Structure formats: C-alpha cells, structure tokens
Amino acid sequence: MEVGFFVSLQQTLFDIDDLHSFSDLSTFAQHIPVEWVESALHLSSAATIRRRRLPADQVLWLVLGMALFRNEPVSEVARRLNICAQGLASDRLMARSGVSQARQRLGAKPVEWLFRQTGAVWGQERYPGDDWQGLQVLAADGAVLRTPDNAALRAHFGSGNTGTDRQTPYPMMRVVALMNVRSHVLLDAQLSPYRRSEIRLADDFIDRIPDHSVTLFDKGFWSADLLLGVAAGGAQRHWLIPARKGLVSETLQTYNADDQLLQMRVSPQARKRHPGLPATWDVRAVSYSHKGKRKTVYTSLPAARYDTDAVARLYQERWEIEVGFRDIKSSLQHNAVTLRSKTVSLIYQEVWGLLLGYNVIRREASQAALAHGQAPARVRFKFAYQYIAAQLIVMAAAQPLSRTGARLSELRAGIGHLFLDDRPRPSRPRSVKMSKTRYPVNRQAAPLK
C-alpha cells in the first residue's frame, strides 16, 4: 500500500456497478487487492445476482463507513459516502429498513475475513527501527464492548456478575486482540460472548503469531498451555508476562540479583486439556523497580542473549495495546455507551467493521509516518482519524478522477503534521465509569469455557 487507501476507496465507491468492475481499478487493487474483496464476498450466505440499491460489494464498504462515522445514522453514512448502485439517485435518503436488510444479507463473515487478511499482511510489515533486538514486538490483551440491552442480546452475550445481587446494565461482548505494538496494527482478534475466557480466546490465534517475535501478555493470560504453545509453535517465538502471586517454583540458576531461572509444575488441569504438556517447565524471572515498587516478569527470552535491563524495559511497551483499545472506544466510537446494532449477527458485523476501520487508519498513518521519517506509533490516532474522515466527505463530493496522485500527497502531508510530541504520557489511574444496576443475578450461570 504505497498510496493512501481512503482516496482510492472513495474513487471506487463512485465507479462500481458490479463486482467485476473492481478488476479495472488498478489503484484500488494496490491497497485492498481485488482478490481479497472477492474472497470475502464469496463467504456471504446470501449471494445474489439481483440488482439491488445496495449490492453486497458496496455494503461491505458501508460497514467500514459505519466505523468511521459512529455518530451518523447508517442511512446517512451511505448517502454521505455516495454508496449506492450506479444509476440510482444518490442524494435520496435510503430507507432505514433497506440498509438493515442489505447488512443482513451480507452477514459478518465477509467483514471478518477482510479484517483478518489486513492483519495477516499489514500486521507483519516491518518499519525502520521497529524491531527489538531482531524480534518483532507484539502484545495480546482483551477488552469488552457493551451492546444495547434487549432479550436476544442479553441471552447471547451475557453480562458480568458481581459479589452483590447486581449485574452490569448492558450485555457485553469480549474482544481479545493481537497487536504489533510498533505500528499499532492488529494482527488478529477473537470475538465472543462475555463469559468466554480471554485465555481460551487467545488460544485461537497463537498459531498466527509470526516467527522471530516476542509477545507481551497481561497477567490475566497466565497459562502454561498457552505460553508453551506460543514458544513451541514456531522459530524464535518468545513471550513476556507479569509474575503471579502464590506460584510455587524452584530456582535452577541465578544470573544476577534481578534475574533467575525457575522451574514450575504444569497444573493437572492444563495437562488434562493438553496431555502432551510436560510435568514441569522452566521460566526466566526478571525483577525491577517501578515507581518505588518491586515488580517481576516471567519470560522465555534466554538470559545468554537478552540482558536483564532490556527485558524489564521491553515490558513497558505492553501499554501500547491499551492505547489501541482506547483509540477504538474513545475516537472511533466517540465514547458511545453501546454499539449501534440491535441483533446478534449485526453486532458481530459491526465490530469486525470497527476493527477493520481501525486497521485501515493505522496502516495509512504508518505509511504517512514512514514518508516523514517518523515512527508509526508517534502518529496521533484521533487527529489522523478525524482528518481522514473529513477528507472522505470532501473527496466523495469532488470526485477527483484526474487528481488522485495530488490528493494522496495532500492526505499524507496533512497526516504528517499530526505526530505526538516527546512529552511523557500523563499517568491516569483507572476508574469505574458505570455503576452496576439491580438486575437479578443468575447464581447458577454456566462456568467459563
């Protein structure tokens, strides 16, 4: 993707009539190749040759537009981006039911597939200076998104219980993602109802962790079968995770006062799930001081090659995935209380579109940073997103058929002014932003799977 995605996307929206017209748009194919779009649309369970106001290929981009214009009604997003079948009046507001029906016909699978394809290709791209001692730096973590509260969504997604007779006021979807912390592009993600555990969701994408990488985990991912699976699944695939209290270990070797090699037992539960696991496993424990507190991280990085201080400093980069989730919730979602869709299938479609939109913005920001000799993570996501969203509307109205190259230069030049300064990020303690409600709690809820 050597030129901006968004301009070519807008150009495409004006010109397409059916899927075959994609193959004639060479500029578009440089960004999201035609093969990706065709493969995604083949997954739609309601393929049809009927000429509709919103054909499936354009509904795919409507879902992406929903992620970029969260505060606009879906029908208004379609009108603003001029998404309609060629030959039909584009300035007429589409019926809300027609847009919903078009989204239902498309389904979630094409959007999910397209997101995964962008993650597989863009997430492993290397930028100058973004490696850590020859390893690509990744992070895995989870977040929750709230859905509107209706019987079908609460039955499917569930909600969080507390120690009192209360539960969360909205059903919640769990998201677990794998991120390239240097470019902030998501390599992969898993979605599920709330009661599915983060560890089991992470199991589904560890096979996609690239070789010659180190993955930073939150302490909630402590699991021998997960971490051993990361290390054994490829060449030079390492992990780093905070120590947990109460773990029993035996010291095998002491490298220095802050660095030891420990041996731990693999739990019977883990060996029951994965009979091939060993009875014990060795982990390296690195300790350091942070804001007057003593902290320890466990890792598979060998002491002979990666020194104590470097490993301790590396774990601080895990915060970058928290920044990514903040960008999605705060910037793209505008801190909305819930997602906008009202049915289970459209909730999944909306979230896959949200993750796809996030990746598209991060990819374009990374390319702009590269053009300006900056690190991709230094681009301000919020301002880059706002700038690109505003340009989308302008370009949709202008239809710049002959000025694509000039528009691309203008777009990246504008993003080039949106870099972060070198001031340290302020420390803001986490706080509970929503109180619990007095919904009755089912104490016989199913256990985590």
Asked if the model's pLDDT at residue 119 lies above 60, the reply is: yes
**Among 157-171, 175-189, 246-260, which stretch is predicted with the lowest mean pLDDT?**
157-171
- Asked if 116 contacts 188 with a C-beta cutoff of 8 angstroms, the reply is yes
Q: What is the pLDDT of residues 330-351, one digit of tens each?
A: 999 999 999 999 999 999 999 9
Tell whether the torsion through CA atoms of 345, 348, 350 and 356 is positive or negative. negative
Q: What is the pLDDT of residues 357-404, one digit of tens each?
A: 899 888 888 888 887 788 887 888 888 888 777 776 666 565 533 343
Tell whether the torsion through CA atoms of 38, 41, 42 and 43 is positive or negative. positive
CA distances from 13 to 40, 61, 88, 183 (A): 17, 8, 13, 28
Res. 77 pLDDT band, cuts 50 70 90? confident
Q: Which two tokens stand for residue 146?
A: 């709230």
Q: What pLDDT, on the 0 to 100 scale, is given for residue 39?
A: 58
Q: Give every strand in the sheet of 237-242, ordered side by side.
A: 186-193, 172-180, 136-146, 213-217, 237-242, 293-299, 280-290, 259-265, 249-256
User: How confident is the prediction for the chain on average, in pLDDT?
Assistant: 77
Q: What pLDDT, on the 0 to 100 scale, is given for residue 65?
A: 81
Q: What is the pLDDT of residues 220-272, one digit of tens each?
A: 999 999 999 999 888 999 999 999 888 889 999 999 999 999 999 998 888 88
Q: What is the pLDDT of residues 288-342, one digit of tens each?
A: 998 888 999 999 999 999 999 999 999 999 999 999 999 999 999 999 999 999 9
From the centroid of its chain, how far is CA 13? Answer: 25
Q: What pLDDT, on the 0 to 100 scale, is given for residue 1?
A: 39
What is the pTM assigned to this prediction?
Answer: 0.79
What percent of the chain is predicted at pLDDT more than 70? Answer: 69
Average pLDDT on 77-100 reads: 58
Res. 4 pLDDT band, cuts 50 70 90? very low
Beta strands at 280-290 and 293-299: parallel, antiparallel or unpaired: antiparallel
In the block, tokens 């997602």 appear at 339
Q: What is the pLDDT of residues 258-272, one digit of tens each?
A: 999 999 999 888 888
Q: What pLDDT, on the 0 to 100 scale, is given for residue 3?
A: 38
